[in-house]
Amino acid sequence: MTWIRAMGRRLRSWWRGSLLVRVTSTTLVLSLLVVGVLGLMLMSRIATGLIEAAERNAVSEARAGLTDAQRVSSAVEAGTASSSPARVVDTLVAALATRAGNPPQYEVLLLSGPDTEGFAPERGTNLVATASIPLDLRQNINDTGRLAWTFTEIRYLDGASVPGIAVGAPLTVPGIGSYELYYLFPLTDQVGTLDLVRSGVVAVGALLAILLALIAWIVTRQVVTPVRIAAEVAERFSHGHLTERIAVRGEDDLARLATSFNEMAGSLELQIHQLEDLSRVQQRFVADVSHELRTPLTTIRMAADLLFENRSSFDAATSRSAELLQTQLDRFESLLTDLLEISRYDAGAAVLDLDSVDLFGLIDRLVLATAPLAERCQTPLIVEYDPSLDNPMDLDATVLADPRRLDRVLRNLLDNAVEHGERQPILITIGASTHAVAITVRDYGVGLSEDSRQHVFARFWRADPARARTTGGTGLGLAIALEDTRLHGGWLEVWGSPGQGANFRLTLPRDPDNALIASPLPLVPEDTQRFAASSDSAGIR
């Protein structure tokens, strides 16, 4: 069964991956169907013609034979008045068999009628058996007293049998009584003709179907080969080989397609180079500005720290200004740090410092670190295990990851949930499977619209730019979290609905070298209604 399933998968892949195979196979199957239908119609027509001709000949011959039988029986009775009934019947059957020719075209069977049954002798030619005559035919002849016929199986006493036509009529033999005279016409010639025609139709049909499939293969190959070449060139082009082009041959539609493709590829190559140059300029500008701002920011930070430490000696307005300066410097430093991190990702210089990380301990530390902010926002933080587990203590939440980057991802998710949680509880769920570990951060705040879900990981994007912020974020947190997750080979996904909150799901493979297949936790939460617990007091469980 495993071998059969593997063969089925290969054939399915072969069928789906090759236009040439599909067209050729479809042509072959349709050709076989058409040839089969036409062959059956031809065979049916030929068989009907042969059988109808055999019927007409049999009935005509039987009618002539019946007239001759009446004449022969009268002559036999006049010449053998003192003969026994058996001799009379033998003479009659012999005379009738003479008309059949050599070899005989038909067999003759003389059976006793209803009023002579049991004592009148019965005879037949060439050891033909009385079982050759169907009972319904005999009943029809006895009831109507007229000629009748039917298809039958002509049986012989030696066990042989052939298909044929039985034609019968009543016959009165003078001096003996009523008889039933039957002419049995074998259909051996017709059956042989049908077998010959059938074998010819099958051979010609199979040859025709193969030729049609071969023609379809040749014609399709002329179209598929340039398409395959174009697909290979497009694939190499998509992998970064921007100089790849299709060789143009001829002046037909495929040649025009190749020319158009080459023109498009040239235009794309030019635009890609322009975008790469612009991207490098932008990346260099961000990196240079971020680095250059470090030095004056350090000087400003030293002066601001001095003012902040001595703010108690200033008047109220100056003291408040020192506090605002300290807060905005913290935000400015955070923005510079995020910009430097983004520039490293853009330059492809970000690398992982892998270590074994226990997500239980990491979540505990992050919840404690977020506790002051959660208490200020009156937002409870609730940590739970995957509810589908029978024994949560068996849950292994250890992954091979970069602790610093993983800490930053989860911290961003928690801060984002508290920021938009609207004083509702934040539910943190941990789940694991054999190959992956997942964490969901569920809030019951304002939620996300469909348009917001598409842009939530964009740089500097905010769902509501006019909304006051509690944490003073830079707008780069979720963008950096997404890049950190991709660097681990994981998934960072979001579900949200207006008025029902949002659910962020982080899924990580236990080893970054292994590709993810599925997440242990669902993205869409089971409770799509607002959390029912009271939120009048903040806390951590």
Angle CA 116–117–118, to nearest 5 = 115
Q: For residue 10, is pLDDT > 90?
A: no
Whether residue 106 contacts residue 61, with contact meaning beta carbons closer than 8 Å, is answered with yes
Average pLDDT estimate for 208-233 = 82
Report the alpha-carbon distance of residue 132 to residue 163 in Å, rounded. Answer: 10
State the sign of the Cα–Cα–Cα–Cα dihedral 83, 85, 90, 91: positive
- Phi and psi at residue 292, in whole multiples of 5°? -65, -30
pLDDT at 392 over 70: no
- Determine the average pLDDT of the residues in 85-109: 83
Instruction: Look over the chain and give the mean of its residue pLDDT values, rounded to a whole number.
Output: 81
DSSP annotation of 115 reads T
Structural domains of the chain ordered from first start: 17-242 (3.30.450.20), 253-345 (1.10.287.130), 351-509 (3.30.565.10)
Q: Give residue 394's pLDDT band: very low, low, confident or very high (50, 70, 90).
A: low
Token code pair at residue 313 = 């000696």
Q: Max Cα separation, the chain?
A: 166
Supply φ then ψ for residue 264, to 5 degrees.
-65, -45
- The predicted structure's pLDDT at residue 159: 86
Instruction: Please tell me the least confidently modeled range out of 98-107, 139-148, 289-298, 389-398.
Output: 389-398
Quote the pLDDT of residue 148: 92
pLDDT score recorded for residue 391? 57
211 Cα distance to chain centroid: 31
Instruction: Find out whether the peptide bond into 114 is cis, omega within 30 degrees of 0.
Output: no
Least-confidence region, from 13-22, 40-49, 207-216, 518-527: 13-22
Residue 150, pLDDT score: 93
How far apart are the C-alpha atoms of 220 and 234, rounded to whole Å? 21
Q: Which residues contact 425 (CB under 8 A, 6 or more apart)?
A: 379, 380, 381, 382, 444, 531, 533, 535
Mean pLDDT along residues 74-90: 67
Q: What average pLDDT score do residues 376-384 get?
A: 85
pLDDT at 349 over 50: yes
Note the Cα 147 to chain centre separation in Å.
Answer: 65
Could you tell me the pLDDT band of residue 323, with boundaries at 50, 70 and 90? confident
What pLDDT is attached to residue 153?
A: 93
Distances (CA, A) of 61 to 105, 187, 195, 455: 10, 15, 26, 95
Indicate whether 161 pLDDT > 60.
yes
Confidence at residue 468, expressed as pLDDT on a 0 to 100 scale: 45
Q: Residue 540: is its pLDDT beyond 50?
A: no
Per cent of the chain over pLDDT 90 is 9
| Residue 166, pLDDT score | 93
Stretch among 35-44, 341-350, 514-523 having the lowest mean pLDDT: 341-350
